[in-house]
Structure 1
Amino acid sequence: MKYLELVTTKNAVSAATGAGAIFLVAKTIMAGIKSPPYNPEPLTLAKLAIEHQSKNVMDSGELRGLLHTLNPKLDDYSKNMILHGITRSVYLLDTEASACTYEDIKLVASFLDDPDMGIKIQTLHALKAFSGIWKFRIRIQEFVPKILEMVTSLWDNDVHVAGLRLLNGLQIPDHTHILLKKLMPALMEILQMGNTLAQVQVLKFLSMLAQKEDLLFDIMNCQVHPEFLHLFQPSRPGNLLFELLVFVEWLCEGRLTPQYQSVHWQYNELSLHEVLFGRDSRLADRLLSLIIHPEEEVQIQACRVILKLQLNEEGELAVLRNSDSTFFSEPNIGSSFIQSRC
């Protein structure tokens, strides 16, 4: 057979592959000969990652460059992209982010006043990223009043979500409580009319506020829509129902405190208190329908609220009877609460 007949496409590929393999083996052997003596200390993946970070990430200067570039005179697109880059860099470049200063935080926060909605949202995202660094958290609290005003004055779901996510990661200063009392109706409106993401975030925020003794009555007395209890429908997303039940549990906890029970509070007719805890409230029926919810955490939380309602009712009777011994002869209210509806 002639030599040319042996040179097929398949044979050529095989030969090239074999030659490439031999070349790689030879290159590896030569690299081994030229390399330093073997170090028996194991080089773990973690050490490799740390070495890579120290060489390529910690000294990148990317975040500092973005902050130097950020300027209110830039066009909206540039500001938006730079703020997005700052957010990304703060999350990824811990050392560079920790090296930032209060002036850097003030520079970023100044874009909360930008007229463009997208830039406001990117600024909130950037501040949220910085709030993950403990030394900046207190500094960012200085902007809480501005963020609260923005969240409650602009009807934009993305602003609501971004602003409330930021607020939920901060300690709310006591001096903002007067402002919060004024803004409570707007927060309650987000809960009733916002999209699911905004509702979840505002519920987390309201749960935090419900733990503040001087804000509890303002939350309870806030006006709500007559159909407020529709939020408890089993068809609602599980995460929304869970946060809603957590919020109601905190309200129950607040009602149980001696300080709260020592005052005879007067509530508006369509207040949150009357809808949830008033004599004509249908909350019990809603809770019983959630006990069989497909998601276990919703079931458990619904049961917790039912038990807290039992304690609330017993506590109210105790106040009415001035802790008279005849109170203890009453039937178990929690049991009757459930049995009468099952």
Structure 2
Amino acid sequence: MDNFLDPKTRRNVLIFITGAGTAYLAYKVISSALLGCQQGQDAVSIARLAIRHDLTKSRSGELRRLLTLLKHQPDNFTKGMLLHGITRCIYLLDYEAKYCTDDDINLIGSLLNDEEKGIKIQALNALNAFASLEAKQYKIQEFVPRVIELVTTIWDSDLHIAGLKLLNSTTMEDYVFMMIRRGIPSFMEILQGKNHLAQLQVLKLLVTLSQKEELLYDILNCQVFPDFLSLFSPQLPGNVLCQMLILVQSLNVGMNNPQYQSVFWEYNEESLHEALFGQDSRLPNKLLALILHPEEDVQRQVCQVILCLEHSKSNESLIDLQNNTMQLTP
């Protein structure tokens, strides 16, 4: 254990991970690993291979070596560091990553079933890196059901962020979207949580889902908390507010699609629809308050939503007028 605690090794570990621009996550991962894991000299050697900080100058085969070492079922600390190295290799050495086989991806995907939550998160990050490669997109779809299960059954912000990032990065076929339907209530709970990074990722996913006609009613009729409109608070980060406003606009456009309007939909009193578009909704007041937001992107998006809502009301009035005229015509 002393070898892992000496300043030189700590510095090398930090240099490796912060080189990817993730200083805060590096501190969390390393500090927890150093406090909670025991390992011998073999583990030290493997971990040092995983944390080399000169990957950009690496010889060909670096990614293959890390994957081979991962197959040997190392201890949790070493496993975590290998996954860190694999993730970074995929981003930096994409010319090597594209030659990875389905078996390689299955190896990482199998770690979604690891008992350690931290290993699950690292596996999600590695799969997300593979999802950045167009040639691997189809294969990554296979893990969507398991990712949905993890995100919707484990209440942990770091896992939510990693899982939702993967779902947002994956190009999914229509049948995969149908699998996501059962996760919508949980996604709405994550949205109403307190973690801004998780909120941002779940909003991006909900925007995508709202553009699927088959899922629109599931989203609109999903139950929300009474204080749902607090998500339009000026105190929230600008990027979260922008995504929230984009979701409102997307839902409104979907609701006003003639095909959707051809069906009479009933919404429960505590639904997202009633919170946003119901007769007693305070959304207009919330939008007016955001017009003075200090960030221009938020101001711009607020104006777009207001115009979109007004356009919808005008269309509704026109349709009502036409219907009344037809009724009066002998």
TM-score class, shorter-chain normalisation, is 0.7 to 0.9
What residue number does 1:299 align with? 299
CA distance, structure 2, for counterparts of residue 104 and residue 248 of structure 1? 40
CA distance, structure 1, for counterparts of residue 152 and residue 116 of structure 2? 17
Aligned AA (2:180): L
1:132 positional shift: 1.1
1:133-212 counterparts in 2 under 5 A? 133-212=133-212
In 2 relative to 1, CA 212–63 (structure 1 residues): closer, same or farther, beyond 3 Å?
same
- SS of the aligned residue for 1:143 comes to helix
The alignment status of 1:254 with 2:254, answered yes or no, reads yes
**8 Å contact from structure 2 (residues 141, 176) kept in 1:** no
Q: Larger Rg: 1 or 2?
A: 1
1:256 positional shift: 1.7
Superposed CA deviations along residues 69-122 of structure 1, whole A, max 9, x for unmatched, are 113732111110111110011111122111211111111111011010110010
**8 Å contact from structure 1 (residues 72, 79) kept in 2:** no
In 2 relative to 1, CA 194–141 (structure 1 residues): closer, same or farther, beyond 3 Å?
farther
1:56 positional shift: 4.8
| Aligned-residue identity in percent | 51
1:61 positional shift: 1.2
Superposed CA deviations along residues 238-296 of structure 1, whole A, max 9, x for unmatched, are 11111100111110110121111111110000100001000000000000001110000
CA distance, structure 1, for counterparts of residue 182 and residue 134 of structure 2? 30
Superposed CA deviations along residues 118-148 of structure 1, whole A, max 9, x for unmatched, are 1001001101111111110111011111111
1:1-342 counterparts in 2 under 5 A? 56-57=57-58, 59-71=59-71, 73-322=73-322
Aligned AA (1:277): F
1:318 positional shift: 3.7
- SS of the aligned residue for 1:270 comes to coil
Superposed CA deviations along residues 154-180 of structure 1, whole A, max 9, x for unmatched, are 100001111111111112332234432
Aligned AA (1:69): L
CA distance, structure 1, for counterparts of residue 314 and residue 293 of structure 2? 27
Structure 1 length as normaliser, TM-score? 0.76
CA distance, structure 2, for counterparts of residue 192 and residue 56 of structure 1? 44
1:193 positional shift: 1.3
Report the RMSD for the aligned CA atoms in angstroms. 1.8
**8 Å contact from structure 2 (residues 111, 119) kept in 1:** yes
Structure 2 length as normaliser, TM-score? 0.79
In 2 relative to 1, CA 302–69 (structure 1 residues): closer, same or farther, beyond 3 Å?
same
CA distance, structure 1, for counterparts of residue 221 and residue 99 of structure 2? 45
Aligned AA (1:197): L
1:322 positional shift: 4.4
Matched pairs, number: 272
CA distance, structure 1, for counterparts of residue 218 and residue 322 of structure 2? 26
- SS of the aligned residue for 1:214 comes to helix
1:324 positional shift: 5.7
Q: Tell me, which stretches of 5 or more residues in structure 2 are unaligned?
A: 1-53
CA distance, structure 1, for counterparts of residue 90 and residue 180 of structure 2? 30
Aligned AA (2:118): G
**8 Å contact from structure 2 (residues 177, 209) kept in 1:** no
CA distance, structure 1, for counterparts of residue 117 and residue 75 of structure 2? 14
CA distance, structure 1, for counterparts of residue 72 and residue 148 of structure 2? 23
Q: Tell me, which stretches of 5 or more residues in structure 1 are unaligned?
A: 1-52, 327-342
CA distance, structure 2, for counterparts of residue 216 and residue 224 of structure 1? 15
CA distance, structure 2, for counterparts of residue 312 and residue 246 of structure 1? 16
CA distance, structure 2, for counterparts of residue 217 and residue 315 of structure 1? 21
CA distance, structure 2, for counterparts of residue 97 and residue 251 of structure 1? 38
- SS of the aligned residue for 2:189 comes to helix
In 2 relative to 1, CA 195–215 (structure 1 residues): closer, same or farther, beyond 3 Å?
same
